[in-house]
Amino acid sequence: MKTYFPSIKDKNSIERTWFLVDATGKRLGRLASRISLILQGKHKPTYTPYLDMGDYVVVVNAEKVELSGDKLKKKKYYRHSGYIGGLKVTTAEELLMRKPEELIIRAVKGMLPKTSLGRRMLKKLKVYRGGEHPHRERELKELSI
């Protein structure tokens, strides 16, 4: 028997499913690792490392995600403007208050490949602060984590 192995020519025939994840009461790391597997397509039997085989993920209630231990106060996110003295430091607590979507996006981004393929995968992640999202017309599968 021959084993099916998808090629770049087959990329238009990839079936993409939309998953809905409610982040209420979920731990950030566990949530991000499960989402990254879905975005990469590792949950499918046709997974291919060099193709974007993953599905779409819609995360709602991002402001209700939890971090374990003292991570809210001790975990820091850095960015640099490129100028001397341009280092900006933000704690996870500040980021959760100001932009909870960014907290989840950064966690998932760190678990994806650091290539152009990883950037394409990240575009399939949709994160929303509250319970409302604009993807109501799509058929969303509930993803339990």
Note the pLDDT of residue 94: 96
Note the pLDDT of residue 88: 97
**pLDDT band at residue 87 using 50, 70 and 90 as cut-offs:** very high
**pLDDT band at residue 133 using 50, 70 and 90 as cut-offs:** very high
Structural tokens at position 16: 């993409």
Note the pLDDT of residue 42: 95
> Domains plus CATH for the chain?
16-67+99-142 (3.90.1180.10)
Note the pLDDT of residue 145: 82
Whole-model pTM: value is 0.90
Q: Are 22 and 60 in contact (CB under 8 A)?
A: yes
